[in-house]
Chain A
């Protein structure tokens, strides 16, 4: 009996890494549409992981595992896809700025964005400002995510923005910031493109920055009291 898209979908949300990859290989070999295998199998399975996280049935570990289950599946499917068929929402490079060692926050944002269909490159912690720009260029990123949890590390966010400006690259990338001491006010003051209160709120922010329609929320998100904020002057 040939493999079904539903089986792939289920293996992904049930976090069966080897089984999911095996099913994807079988599906491609059996001639199933690679776009459907990706979108309705792997990505839809990942969305279930995200929904379960939202419902507190799954936790951060499951989100991380979901990414690990999906990654080899997506890598395997990619060569079989027609051009522009990945349905990618955008590409994000993200990490913690110089001096900042906090991992959970930006890890959670990364996972939420991956679940929403963004290609995310996690860069690590305590990173030099220029490194973000080099990686953004290397991965042809749309968005640079800066995680800063301390009052002493937040100043590295405007440093990245300053480099972009002085290198003539400011309009090439959207820059978002997050972390305990980060606020919409601070994002506004440093002329960042956006800020989000938490990982869930980072998704509509990034979608909005990529020009997607996120409904009426976008209007509210220009105020500093909203859970996410985007810079309407720049966007």
Chain B
């Protein structure tokens, strides 16, 4: 573990470098390491084997040790030794994650999980995306009324409250976020789960705004996580360190999130998997958190693809075998939320991630109905062998790839999917989603 002030010292004394030069060093080094460790993306084996997972971990350690992190505020590189990074990994492994969130009967935990464990990942729903005030409460309610949902990992956020937009670093971001917290609490109250964890604080993004929201009765250590992540690729600012320090002092579980882009500085899934591990280790070095979302995305913003599944699996399995964090990701569609395509894409992600050691999932765009179905899928896949998952995943991805070009881009509005008075899914909507579940069962997913 590197004390935060030691991290600051490195960030203010490390080698001076232009951001462009750092980018080129990063890209060239990750390519070199992928070749050195013989890491190869295989679209037919999306849940990776042990050798690949180990190679991705070693390459990730080397990448961070040889390239470091780029501190954008000082234009210096934060350097590590390989031994330090291995020590950070050992410390994480020796204390497997068990982050308890929520309170009383609404307690939940995010625990380190192996792909072979027979307990299913935590359904850390949320909803994600931008939702208008008109039906914000009902949208959240649709999720938290589901028994399978144990917390709201990444809640939906607002981009406007009346005429006020939440402007970072101004009172308006706090003003809008306060309405959002009240709305979240109201949704929890309606379903009788008042102490449920509210997850990542999204609508405020600055250090000051975040700290302002940490108020008794609103956001507190038992019901919140705060984002402290590194930007892709390997860049950060003082913001991450200040918030990590705040989390440490206040006993808040930091939201660590490792993201890397396929097709940008990383050429492909193999480069991206290595980048995810290096990014994740970088966050552990200063934030010391228990949870880590791994999130590979294509440059154009898609993520429910074979490449992204492979990159996630490689990073998650590397993490499972060498770190003790609870690893998570977003399970969702990437083109048309609240359509059968999004459930098919989610099925692919479930089958790729559960046997890879995913410990929790948050959502983007799903309603409570999909949260329920994704929960059923996670139960079904838990305990299946890697080989069987790979076989099933091929069938699902073929279906996704055939369906995707036929579905127009654009999300179905939530009010078209749920009756906002009864808070039940509309019959036609539910029937469409059930057909996906039936077809998954016929493909061999052992749904109960």
Q: Which residues of A contact B (CB under 8 A)?
A: 56, 59-61, 64-65, 67-68, 98-104, 107-108, 125-126, 150-156, 159, 180-181, 198
Known: A61-B28, A151-B158. A104 touches B205 (CB 8 A): no
Do the beta carbons of B24 and A103 come within 8 Å of each other?
Answer: no
* Chain A residues positioned under 8 Å from B237 (CB to CB): 101, 126
Closest chain B residue to A156 by CB distance?
A: B167
* Chain A residues positioned under 8 Å from B23 (CB to CB): 60-61, 64, 107
A184 to chain B minimum Cβ distance, whole angstroms, is: 13
Do the beta carbons of B300 and A108 come within 8 Å of each other?
Answer: no
Do the beta carbons of B204 and A152 come within 8 Å of each other?
Answer: yes
* Chain A residues positioned under 8 Å from B166 (CB to CB): 151-152, 155
Instruction: Tell me what chain B mostly uses at the interface: helix, strand, loop, or mixed.
Output: loop
CB within 8 Å of A: which B193-238 residues? 203-206, 209, 231-233, 235, 237
Do the beta carbons of B157 and A155 come within 8 Å of each other?
Answer: no
Do the beta carbons of A151 and B264 come within 8 Å of each other?
Answer: no
Do the beta carbons of A103 and B235 come within 8 Å of each other?
Answer: yes
A60–B23 CA distance with the chains assembled, in angstroms: 9
Do the beta carbons of B231 and A101 come within 8 Å of each other?
Answer: yes
List 29 contacting pairs A-B, 8 Å CB cutoff, sorted by A: A59-B27, A59-B263, A59-B265, A60-B263, A60-B265, A61-B26, A64-B20, A64-B23, A67-B20, A68-B24, A98-B169, A99-B169, A101-B237, A103-B72, A104-B232, A104-B299, A108-B264, A125-B72, A126-B237, A150-B205, A151-B158, A151-B203, A152-B203, A152-B206, A153-B205, A154-B165, A155-B166, A198-B299, A198-B300
* 0/1 interface trace, chain B 116-141, chain A, CB 8 Å (1 if under): 00000000000000100000000000
Do the beta carbons of B168 and A104 come within 8 Å of each other?
Answer: no
Question: Interface size (B, Cβ < 8 Å)?
Answer: 39
A68–B24 CA distance with the chains assembled, in angstroms: 10
* Chain B residues positioned under 8 Å from A180 (CB to CB): 301
A103–B166 CA distance with the chains assembled, in angstroms: 21
Q: Which residues of B contact A (CB under 8 A)?
A: 19-20, 23-24, 26-28, 72, 130, 157-159, 165-169, 172-173, 203-206, 209, 231-233, 235, 237, 239, 261, 263-267, 299-301
A125–B75 CA distance with the chains assembled, in angstroms: 12
* Chain A residues positioned under 8 Å from B205 (CB to CB): 99, 150, 152-153
A198–B169 CA distance with the chains assembled, in angstroms: 27
A67–B19 CA distance with the chains assembled, in angstroms: 13
A98–B205 CA distance with the chains assembled, in angstroms: 11
B77 to chain A minimum Cβ distance, whole angstroms, is: 15
* Chain B residues positioned under 8 Å from A153 (CB to CB): 167-168, 205
Q: B24 contacts which of A65, A151, A152 (Cβ < 8 Å)?
A: A65
Residue from the set A56, A107, A126, A152 with the largest chain B CB neighbour count within 10 Å: A152
* Chain B residues positioned under 8 Å from A61 (CB to CB): 23-24, 26-28, 265
A67–B24 CA distance with the chains assembled, in angstroms: 12
Given contacts A60-B299, A152-B205, 7 further A-B pairs with CB under 8 A are: A59-B265, A60-B263, A61-B26, A152-B167, A152-B204, A155-B168, A198-B300
* Chain B residues positioned under 8 Å from A65 (CB to CB): 24
Known: A103-B231, A104-B264, A151-B158. A68 touches B20 (CB 8 A): yes
* Chain A residues positioned under 8 Å from B266 (CB to CB): 59
Known: A59-B265, A60-B264, A65-B24. A155 touches B235 (CB 8 A): no
Closest chain B residue to A68 by CB distance?
A: B20
Known: A60-B265, A102-B231, A103-B19. A156 touches B168 (CB 8 A): yes
